[in-house]
Amino acid sequence: MISYMKPTWLLILSYALWAGLCSVQSGFAQAKPSASLVQRKGVQVPFVGCASDGQVGPVKAPEEHSKTATVDERDSDRLAYYKAEEGIGVLAPRGWYCFSTYGSNGSSLFVSPDPIDGSWFFSDNWKGFTGPAIQVSVSVGDTSGRFEVAEIAARVFPAYKKYVQRVIAEKIRPASDFPFGPYPHDKLIYRRRNIVEFETPANTEGLGTCSLLQSNSTPIAGVAILSGEETDLFQLSLRLPEKDRDLLQAIIRQVESDATQAAAQ
């Protein structure tokens, strides 16, 4: 982001805002183990390319015709697959808008039923989405993205405590930025030791607001996944309109599938 220098610094600020939303102290919540991920037959859905802006400037939307998605056929005519050049994609209702930001620490893709102005993400004044929106982010665990990884790992991935401790030991950020234990009101379902689905209730802070989705009267659902040799974090946060909430699990399942494939590549 020469003319890209300003967007680069603002991108860092946007990630700092995201990180700040996640650093509030909290106690422990109950987590219920769940069955293994369910594999479903793939069906074709439309592909929607998303423009990006970030560390080396604007990037055009990729062009593809369709995507094989792990959704039930009855849902396929209501969904499209949105993806930018960097990071993984996400299913969302057809006809929505998208935009992506990226940097050396990772990338974030945003999808909304309302038009998205890319300049929002590089502004000090814009605080995030207040209505329906979807965000899927990838934080790279061996870059400056390790701070986002460590924050979420401390919250909900006890098996990765040593990773968090290594980040704290660097003393670049205070240990208080990495509180151990879940947000007190979040509902957690562990699919595997490195995959946890969550719901942050209405008007509360939690994993769902560790994003650019602002809390309101509607819950935020999603999934957090740690994967790969560098311990990358894949995180989905979504808030859907009432008429589309039956699509929630299909969207989460696809991110779980895509994150697993991305980590294996």
> In terms of Cα–Cα distance, which of 223, 17, 213, 18 is closest to 131?
213
Give the residue, 140 or 42, on which the prediction is more confident: 140
pLDDT confidence bin for 16, thresholds 50/70/90: very low
Can you give the pLDDT at residue 1? 32
pLDDT confidence bin for 265, thresholds 50/70/90: confident
Q: How many domains does the chain have?
A: 1
Can you give the pLDDT at residue 22? 64
Can you give the pLDDT at residue 41? 67
Average pLDDT for 162-167: 98
| pLDDT tens digits, 203-216 | 999 999 999 999 99
Average pLDDT for 80-100: 97
Q: What is the C-alpha separation between 235 and 227, in angstroms, rounded?
A: 11
Give residue 158's domain range. 5-264
Residue ranges of alpha helices (H) inside 22-160 are 73-76, 146-156
Average pLDDT for 34-53: 76
Query: Does 247 have pLDDT greater than 90?
Result: yes
What is the dihedral sign for C-alpha 145, 251, 100, 186? negative
Query: Does 121 have pLDDT greater than 50?
Result: yes
Residue 99 burial (CB < 10 Å; 0-12/13-18/19+)? buried
Q: What is the C-alpha separation between 229 and 99, in angstroms, rounded?
A: 28
Query: Does 38 have pLDDT greater than 70?
Result: no
Query: Does 113 have pLDDT greater than 60?
Result: yes
pTM (two decimals)? 0.87
Region of poorest pLDDT, from 19-33, 99-113, 179-193, 196-210: 19-33
3-state class (DSSP) for residue 150: helix
